[in-house]
Amino acid sequence: MAKILLRPDFLFVGGENWETIKNGELLIEDGTVIYAGPRRQYTGGEIDKIIEGKNRLVMPGLVNAHTHAAMTLFRGYADDMPLMDWLRNKIWPAESRLTSEDIYWGTMLAISEMIRGGITCFADMYFNMDAVAQACMDSGIRASLAQGLIGLDNVKGTAGLKESKKLVSNWHGSGEGRITIMLGPHAPYTCPPQYLQKVMETAAELNLPLHIHLAETRDEVRECLKKYNKRPVELMESIGLFKHRVLSAHCVHLSKEEIEILASSKVSVAHNPGSNLKLGSGIAPLADLLAGGALVSLGTDGAASNNNLDMLEELRLAALLAKGSQEDPTLLPAREALKMATLNGAKALFLADGTGEIKEGSPADLIMLDLEKPHLYPRHDLCAHLVYAAVASDVEMVMVKGTILMERRELLTIDEEKILYEANVRAARLTR
């Protein structure tokens, strides 16, 4: 890998305040950022690759904090349907036919799309996770993977935990630390409290964070109240789940008390506005979560319910929806939204190594955008442009841990033509 020098006209190092550095410079050595700041007279010895960035902007890679990558195979298979009808009669039957190979190719399709849109890291929950991990290894992307655990039946629940342990020993820390593992109890309505106790024991034993769906729909809240006389977040708190590190996806239907619980327990919330709208789940109280001090990141959810894996779109949607639903244009300003999609994402995935921002010592997970497009002119405020105008195809170069995965919009680690072919053939078989 060795030394790479980038000289973008604009450098956003991200972090807390998204300061713009004009005429920036970045030096990367063996996958790590050595320097990020104003352009200097370079005197540091031989460089293996120089990337010039005239009219280009470099920023931290986007973190997709909640998805089900292999579900790209079901993109557009069934839309505009009531949720349970969609799941029972379309998605679940098709999923039951999935082989490990299907999941590999579906995940590769997802990764192709994610890299093309500037995503350098994602949190996944699905099954046959060895295939997902292999796709991450092959493509070079960073990921935090969780086997989805269903605890409604003792045998399956125990088997799931066993598979999760195997996943840890097979993959945790692989790809020089690119791959990390979480435990993935699916949701309160598929994992009863006594099963969640076992999950928590395993989490403590292996020192793993948890990734769960929480308070996604009104029905979930209603049934939880009926069964346990507690709302989902209250229930999870009462059984001690939040004593662990938890990434909690959706969090759409929350009481004021539940927002306080999430904030004070330092639970990571993955906001999924596109999926929540499309499935008719509702609009999460994002402004209240942020005002309450919760750590909120952003996710696309799976492509069957979004229907894309486009974090720039998700970012814009989050910012627009926060303002529009509360009729307050000052909510979720551009820099806050950018932080959600980068630094907060890395925190949500419990990556404590400097991922999510560009600073000395952090892994070189970054993207370069081409600004020479009508929709990015004039250049009053490039942060605002990133949030309110930029699109996935503006991303020109993507780097993870110093390895270039896309250059001039060409994927370097992936045989895209083969992936499109395999995905189409397999999707047809699965939905026949």
391-410 residues in contact with a copy of itself (CB under 8 A) are 391-393
Residue window 180-219: x/- pattern of binding to a copy of itself, with contact defined by CB under 8 A: --------------------------------------x-
**Residue 24, helix vs strand vs coil:** strand
Q: Which stretch binds a copy of itself (CB under 8 A): 180-188, 264-272, 291-299, 416-424?
A: 416-424
**Which residue from 70, 294, 303, 315 is in contact with a copy of itself, where contact means CB under 8 A?**
303
**Which residue from 99, 324, 353, 418 is in contact with a copy of itself, where contact means CB under 8 A?**
324
**Which residue from 268, 307, 344, 355 is in contact with a copy of itself, where contact means CB under 8 A?**
307
Q: What are the DSSP calls for 60-109, one per residue?
A: EPEEEEEE-GGGGGGTTTS-S--HHHHIIIIIHHHHHT--HHHHHHHHHH
**Strand (E) or helix (H) holding 53:** strand 49-60
Q: Which stretch binds a copy of itself (CB under 8 A): 28-36, 71-79, 286-294, 357-365?
A: 71-79
Q: Which residue number, 46 or 80, has a Cβ lying nearer to a copy of itself?
A: 80
Which of positions 213-252 make contact with a copy of itself (CB under 8 A)?
218
- Work out how close the CB of 395 gets to a copy of itself at its nearest, in angstroms, rounded to a whole number: 11
Q: What are the DSSP calls for 355-388, one per residue?
A: TTB--TTSB--EEEEE--SGGG-S-S-HHHHHHH
In total, the chain counts a number of residues equal to: 432
- Residue for token digits 């509360």? 326
Residue 380 in contact with a copy of itself, rule: CB under 8 A: yes
Q: Which stretch binds a copy of itself (CB under 8 A): 5-13, 180-188, 241-249, 269-277?
A: 269-277
Q: Binding residues for a copy of itself, how many (CB under 8 A)?
A: 78
| Residue 267 · residue 248 · CB < 8 Å | yes
Residue 112 in contact with a copy of itself, rule: CB under 8 A: yes
> Of 351, 337, 275, which Cα lies nearest the Cα of 120?
351
**Which residue from 96, 330, 361, 408 is in contact with a copy of itself, where contact means CB under 8 A?**
330
Q: Which residue number, 349 or 390, has a Cβ lying nearer to a copy of itself?
A: 390
Q: Which residue number, 28 or 427, has a Cβ lying nearer to a copy of itself?
A: 427
- Work out how close the CB of 77 gets to a copy of itself at its nearest, in angstroms, rounded to a whole number: 4
Q: How far is CA 41 from CA 25, 45, 152, in A?
A: 10, 12, 63
- Work out how close the CB of 13 gets to a copy of itself at its nearest, in angstroms, rounded to a whole number: 20
> Of 76, 131, 177, 119, which Cα lies nearest the Cα of 299?
119
Q: How far apart are CA 208 and CA 429, in angstroms?
A: 36
Which of positions 279-298 make contact with a copy of itself (CB under 8 A)?
279-283
Q: How far apart are CA 378 and CA 92, in angstroms?
A: 47
Q: What sign does the CA torsion over 133, 66, 12, 291 have?
A: negative
Residue 156 in contact with a copy of itself, rule: CB under 8 A: no
Cis bond before residue 307 (omega within 30° of 0): yes
Give the number of other Cβ atoms within 10 Å of residue 161's Cβ.
20
Residue window 337-376: x/- pattern of binding to a copy of itself, with contact defined by CB under 8 A: -----------------------------------xxxx-
| Residue 275 · residue 301 · CB < 8 Å | yes
Give the number of other Cβ atoms within 10 Å of residue 412's Cβ.
15
Residue 83 in contact with a copy of itself, rule: CB under 8 A: yes
Which of positions 92-111 make contact with a copy of itself (CB under 8 A)?
109-110
Residue 141 in contact with a copy of itself, rule: CB under 8 A: no
Q: Which residue number, 364 or 427, has a Cβ lying nearer to a copy of itself?
A: 427
- Work out how close the CB of 374 gets to a copy of itself at its nearest, in angstroms, rounded to a whole number: 4
**Which residue from 69, 119, 259, 419 is in contact with a copy of itself, where contact means CB under 8 A?**
419
Give the number of other Cβ atoms within 10 Å of residue 398's Cβ.
28
Q: Which residue number, 34 or 277, has a Cβ lying nearer to a copy of itself?
A: 277
**CA geometry: angle 76, 247, 140, nearest 5 deg:** 65
Q: Which residue number, 205 or 417, has a Cβ lying nearer to a copy of itself?
A: 417
Residue 81 in contact with a copy of itself, rule: CB under 8 A: yes
Residue 431 in contact with a copy of itself, rule: CB under 8 A: yes
Residue 113 in contact with a copy of itself, rule: CB under 8 A: yes
Q: How far apart are CA 233 and CA 292, in angstroms?
A: 15
Residue 328 in contact with a copy of itself, rule: CB under 8 A: yes
Give the number of other Cβ atoms within 10 Å of residue 427's Cβ.
21
